A and B are shown apart, each in its own frame.
Chain A
């Protein structure tokens, strides 16, 4: 099951050139672009591992593509995303976020039912991937 998170996730995977153009858009708007990776695709997992520092003062997006490819060398089997942080006063949040790399197989999520008080049932989801310990997931 293909993970649909962030922007462009219903489109075909982005090429390096697509990544460059999108990252350039973020840079031109004055947002700090950074690269992050994870092997826990749960939608509420907001804080992924950082790949290097956010790129505050790189005027050209070629640097972003360069870092994405460096990250792929190390974490090619995990999810990698590019995010753009807007630090302008009154905003201070993520403006863009899109996945640029995904594992070869994505096992998807299962529905977990928990019996609660009375006959009520609580629902949650769990990725099949996280049944394995960290580092052995994909």
Chain B
């Protein structure tokens, strides 16, 4: 008995049914900023939904290429979006399990001849049925060393990306300019990747919003002076080296919590109430060395510091 294809489909109903709406709403709620990324994901979701409908009607037979590349500076939410993407693809039925396996060069490339292939295959097997996220993918290719084993990993990767398209989706991530160079020297990758998504840097107000969101999740809050200090901190931190957007903010908050705990410990004379335990004040943030010119200034003075001072310094960033 042959199964007749449906002749029409209610896209709105399919949209509801697949649970894509929930993922997109979650994306909107949990991620601040990143408008271009969100709109690209909405477009991709629409495309996949229509494609799925077409396949059900027998109009299309091939699995579309779903491999993607995420380019952007560190801390712009690439991994977070990849997690959401895995969920989205799972709900649309393009991957069977929807788990995310995050790897870097070290997980794929071996240390001696014959080590790379089994290692890469092991990772690929683990990612089957889900999404493989390769962070800083350009490290796989090292043109300066022609004996580099990265090339071997790339070949296996390309082969599996082509032959096991139904089994896994590969997302390559990294800085924009270096990814461009990587693709230029590996044309095989460029042609196998259908979706290129750029992640813009966060603006200062967005980062402040993010910092409040992060604190909120841990039941902390900033008072008004601390919020102003945080805004200044973000502006100052951006101008210093190794700025990593939301990740820098998270690290700053971790250290602020450390200082807050220290302060409470030293000040406390009696019982402390919930409000004080969860309040981060201006001095907690102002103590950061970012306000004193950052890491470089410390390095210059570093020679004069004794061991104890160095420890205090580490705690103070």
Query: Which residues does chain A contribute within 8 Å of B166, judged by CB atoms?
Result: 62
A–B pairs, 10, beta carbons within 8 Å:
A52-B118, A58-B125, A58-B126, A59-B126, A59-B129, A59-B130, A60-B96, A60-B128, A63-B128, A66-B167
Instruction: Provide the B113-148 mask, 1 if CB < 8 A to any CB of A, else 0.
Output: 000001000001110111000000000000000000
Total chain A interface residues with beta-carbon distance under 8 A: 11
Query: Which residues does chain A contribute within 8 Å of B97, judged by CB atoms?
Result: 59-60
* Residue among A59, A61, A67 making CB contact with B99, cutoff 8 Å: A59
Would you give the shortest CB distance from A54 to chain B, in whole angstroms?
12
Instruction: Provide the A42-82 mask, 1 if CB < 8 A to any CB of B, else 0.
Output: 00000000001001011111110011000000000000000
> Does B164 have its Cβ within 8 Å of any Cβ on chain A?
yes
Would you give the shortest CB distance from B27 to chain A, in whole angstroms?
24
What size tier do the contact residues of chain B reach?
Answer: 10 to 19
Would you give the shortest CB distance from B199 to chain A, in whole angstroms?
27
Considering the chains assembled together, what is the distance between the CA atoms of A58 and B101 in angstroms?
11
* Residue among B118, B128, B164 making CB contact with A58, cutoff 8 Å: B128
Total of A-B residue pairs, C-beta within 8 Å: 35
* Residue among A55, A57, A59, A62 making CB contact with B164, cutoff 8 Å: A62
Query: Which residues does chain A contribute within 8 Å of B124, judged by CB atoms?
Result: 63
Given A62-B167, A66-B164, the answer on whether A55 and B99 have CB atoms closer than 8 Å is no
Closest A-B pairs by Cβ, 4 of them: A60-B129, A63-B125, A62-B167, A62-B128
Nearest to B99 among chain A residues (CB) is: A59
Nearest to A60 among chain B residues (CB) is: B129
Would you give the shortest CB distance from B103 to chain A, in whole angstroms?
14
Query: Which residues does chain B contribute within 8 Å of A67, judged by CB atoms?
Result: 125
Nearest to B160 among chain A residues (CB) is: A66
Would you give the shortest CB distance from B156 to chain A, in whole angstroms?
12
Would you give the shortest CB distance from A36 to chain B, in whole angstroms?
17
Would you give the shortest CB distance from A22 to chain B, in whole angstroms?
15
Contact across chains for A60 and B130 when beta carbons are under 8 A apart: yes
Instruction: Provide the B6-35 mask, 1 if CB < 8 A to any CB of A, else 0.
Output: 000000000000000000000000000000
Query: Which residues does chain B contribute within 8 Å of A52, judged by CB atoms?
Result: 118
Q: Which of B242-293 contact A (CB under 8 A)?
A: none
Considering the chains assembled together, what is the distance between the CA atoms of A60 and B86 in angstroms?
14
Would you give the shortest CB distance from B117 to chain A, in whole angstroms?
11
Considering the chains assembled together, what is the distance between the CA atoms of A52 and B118 in angstroms?
9
Query: Which residues does chain A contribute within 8 Å of B126, judged by CB atoms?
Result: 57-59, 63
Considering the chains assembled together, what is the distance between the CA atoms of A125 and B164 in angstroms?
43
Query: Which residues does chain A contribute within 8 Å of B167, judged by CB atoms?
Result: 60, 62, 66
Query: Which residues does chain A contribute within 8 Å of B168, judged by CB atoms?
Result: 62
Considering the chains assembled together, what is the distance between the CA atoms of A41 and B168 in angstroms?
35
Contact across chains for B130 and A55 when beta carbons are under 8 A apart: no
Would you give the shortest CB distance from A100 to chain B, in whole angstroms?
17
Considering the chains assembled together, what is the distance between the CA atoms of A66 and B118 in angstroms?
13
Considering the chains assembled together, what is the distance between the CA atoms of A125 and B166 in angstroms?
45
Considering the chains assembled together, what is the distance between the CA atoms of A60 and B129 in angstroms?
5
Known: A62-B129, A63-B124, A66-B167. 4 other contacts (CB 8 A): A52-B118, A59-B130, A63-B125, A67-B125
Considering the chains assembled together, what is the distance between the CA atoms of A66 and B168 in angstroms?
12
Would you give the shortest CB distance from A121 to chain B, in whole angstroms?
50
Query: Which residues does chain A contribute within 8 Å of B125, judged by CB atoms?
Result: 55, 58, 63, 66-67
Query: Which residues does chain A contribute within 8 Å of B118, judged by CB atoms?
Result: 52
Considering the chains assembled together, what is the distance between the CA atoms of A84 and B97 in angstroms?
20
Considering the chains assembled together, what is the distance between the CA atoms of A95 and B124 in angstroms?
26
Nearest to A67 among chain B residues (CB) is: B125
Considering the chains assembled together, what is the distance between the CA atoms of A85 and B125 in angstroms?
18
Would you give the shortest CB distance from A71 to chain B, in whole angstroms?
13
